[in-house]
Structure 1
Amino acid sequence: MESITMRYRMSDRDVFYGGGVVNGARGITLMEDCAKRLMAKVYQNTGKCTKVKKVRLYEPLFAGDYLEFIAGIKKQEGNKALIEVRAYKIIQVPEDPPYPSSIDVLEDPPLCTVVQFVYEAN
Structure 2
Amino acid sequence: MEVKLRVRMSNHDAHYGGNLVDGARILGLFGDAATELLIRHDGDEGLFRAYEKVDFLAPVYAGDFLEVETKIIKEGSTSRKMEFFCYKVIEAKPDIAPSACDVLKEKVLTTYAIGTCIVPKELQR
Q: TM-score, normalised by structure 1?
A: 0.93
Structure with greater proportional strand content: 2
Q: How does 1:69-84 map to 2 (within 5 A)?
A: 69-84=68-83
Unaligned runs of 5+ in 2: 121-125
Distance across 1 between alignment mates of 2:82 and 2:94: 35
2:103 aligned with 1:108: no
For structure 1, the 5+ residue unaligned runs are: none
Secondary structure of the residue aligned to 1:34 is: helix
CA distance in 1, matches of 2:113, 2:34: 10
Q: For residues 81-111 of structure 1, what are the alpha-carbon distances to aligned partners after superposition, in whole Å with 9 as ceiling and x for unaligned?
A: 10111000000112522x4332100011110
Residues 93 and 99 of structure 2 are in contact (CA less than 8 Å); yes or no, is this contact kept in structure 1?
A: no
Task: Kindly tell me the number of residue pairs found equivalent between the two proteins.
Answer: 120
Identity %: 32
SS in 2 for 1:28: helix
SS in 1 for 2:107: coil
- Among 109, 119, 122, which residue is 1:121 paired with? 119
C-alpha separation in 1, matches of 2:70 and 2:54 = 14
Partner of 1:10: 9
Alignment of 1:90-109 (within 5 A): 90-94=89-93, 96-97=95-96, 99-109=97-107
- Corresponding letter in the other structure for 1:48: L
TM-score (norm: length of structure 2): 0.91
Task: After TM superposition, give the deviation of residue 117 of structure 1 in Å.
Answer: 1.4
Aligned partner of residue 15 in structure 2, secondary structure: coil
Q: Secondary structure at the match of 2:32?
A: helix
Task: Output aligned runs, 1:30-49, within 5 Å.
Answer: 30-49=29-48
List per-residue Cα deviations over 1:50-78 (Å, max 9, x = no partner): 22111000001100010000010011111
